[in-house]
Chains A and B, each alone.
Chain A
Amino acid sequence: AQSVAQPEDQVNVAEGNPLTVKCTYSVSGNPYLFWYVQYPNRGLQFLLKYITGDNLVKGSYGFEAEFNKSQTSFHLKKPSALVSDSALYFCAVRDDNYGQNFVFGPGTRLSALP
């Protein structure tokens, strides 16, 4: 079975500092990995994905993530946080051995403080 863990419910960061939101996954086959952001009372917005190729993936709004197969991790990073980055972040995985479903982590709330 496939699963996603986001070990931190809440991450606080000062504006201008680098931010990291952690994600680890478990799949039986090859993982497709995704990050989404959600603002209050809105749907999820796609940030970036890893399907194959370069382990460092760059996405929207200056975010990037690094796929680490040995550690089964896909941490989201940004060099310099903005107050407007404050939101709920979800990591998701899809394992082609289990069809086309996406499994989401529980979410991490990021607060970027001025």
Chain B
Amino acid sequence: DVKVTQSSRYLVKRTGEKVFLECVQDMDHENMFWYRQDPGLGLRLIYFSYDVKMKEKGDIPEGYSVSREKKERFSLILESASTNQTSMYLCASSSRYTEAFFGQGTRLTVV
């Protein structure tokens, strides 16, 4: 059974903390994505990566960075968490002709 696994389902962090969200896929997919989901706004792309050590900005990269040191792992980093980054974060992976496979999501609350 193919899987995308996110390290946490729920996370509570304080303003100003550095936050790491980890995502691992076991399908040998070249593409990996980070989205955030907010009510009424749908899914917005933060960053994506189409190869190891490669990254591209999505629609809302401000306040975020990413790391992809290995093909199976794509990390999202909030350098200094703020309350407006409270959201649901979704990781996904895909290959060229496949659909996107999603993790279970991480609900992050910044207080």
Q: Which residues of A approach B to under 8 Å, CB–CB?
A: 32, 34, 36, 41-46, 49, 51, 90, 92, 99-102, 104-107
Contacts and interface: CB of A to CB of B under 8 A. Distances in A.
Secondary structure type dominating chain B contacts: strand
B82 interface: no
Contact of A44 (B41, B97, B102): B102
A90 B42 contact: yes
A43 B92 CA distance: 9
A51 B45 CA distance: 22
Interface residues of B, number: 26
Interface of B: 4, 31, 33, 35, 40-43, 45, 48, 50, 58, 88, 90, 92, 94, 96-97, 99-105, 107
Nearest to B49: A100
B97 A92 contact: no
A45 B33 CA distance: 15
Contacts of A43: 4, 90, 102-105
Given A41-B105, A100-B50, 16 more contacts: A34-B99, A34-B100, A42-B104, A42-B105, A43-B90, A44-B43, A44-B90, A44-B92, A46-B102, A49-B99, A100-B48, A101-B45, A101-B48, A102-B94, A104-B42, A106-B40
